Structure 1
């Protein structure tokens, strides 16, 4: 059996930085009216949705911890955990919605850019320290929680997840 190719850390790091720059561009060019306007296809305003996009990077940091832990446990434990989370999907979606509404009042248009910079810097540092073995570790995921979650995800996939989440929601913004 041949060794898989090394993870392209540079591509992941570049995608993290791309999204960081894109967020700053969106924040810099939106008017006060743009921030208050409803987004397309969500119940959030643009400002709330922008925070939710940043939140995807915050969530990724926590998911990395879970993958590191659950990948060391027997598979049935991880699969049971994912099934339990899937069962709570309606509650998760409500908390996800209300949490982003509330958090956007703290990490608002004036603060979320700096917060995003800090979160992405932490992701960049942890990515640079990951071993190839760790990047291949995986666990079962609650596939009903997010369209970008797959039944099993590796640490590498978790590092790539927030960029997909960001781009998906970017298309829902209704900025001028």
Structure 2
């Protein structure tokens, strides 16, 4: 995949930040409880799941660094194991946002989103160029944006793709007074 354009990824993170805040800032209480298009979540739950894509990226970065130092067979076996437990993962992946929105208000979610974006931006800026090409095998059954092998650069790009995909499933925009 060639050299990574860090500035483009940084700009994508900032665009995602603006988009996420705009979605949360303009959503009404009624819109947040409305079902989404194509998922079993409400808009609020799907927004939290979109945020979770950035959270999981922070977890994936050290995992990729670790497995990139091991023989290829290690990450291949790990990906096979994770693919084998896709059903429990799917249940947790669904239930997580359902519970999270009971604890995280839209305001708290927005603040946490900012902290995660800032963290990813700092990590990307500090990552040595040669590390960005290192990678590992991924459980392709867990997420449609996971490919069999992903470099660290691919992982940094992942959450923005995840957010944009799910953004199209939101059913916001009813014209009521936004939640503050």
TM-score, normalised relative to structure 1: 0.96
* Counterpart residue number, 1:72: 69
1:89 alignment partner, one of 78, 86, 91:
86
User: Contact 1:107/1:115 (CA < 8 Å) preserved in 2?
Assistant: no
2:27 alignment partner, one of 27, 30, 35:
30
> 2:26 aligned with 1:19, yes or no?
no
Of 102-111 and 71-80, deviating more is: 102-111
- Counterpart of 1:26 in 2: which secondary structure? helix
Question: Which runs of structure 2 are paired with 1:6-155 in the superposition (5 Å)?
Answer: 6-155=3-152
* Counterpart residue number, 2:176: none
Which runs of 4 or more aligned residues in structure 1 lie more than 3 Å from their structure 2 counterparts after TM superposition?
A: none
Give the number of equivalent residue pairs: 173
Change (3 A) 1:98 1:5: closer
Q: Deviations over 1:72-104 (max 9, x none)?
A: 011111100000000101110000000111112
Distance 2:59 2:160 in 1: 15
Distance 2:2 2:153 in 1: 13
- Counterpart of 1:148 in 2: which secondary structure? coil
Tell me the C-alpha RMSD between the 2 structures. Answer: 1.0
TM-score, normalised relative to structure 2: 0.94
Q: What are the ranges of 5 or more consecutive residues in structure 1 without an aligned counterpart? A: none
Of 159-168 and 100-109, deviating more is: 100-109
**1:7 deviation in Å?**
1.6
Q: What are the ranges of 5 or more consecutive residues in structure 2 without an aligned counterpart? A: 174-180
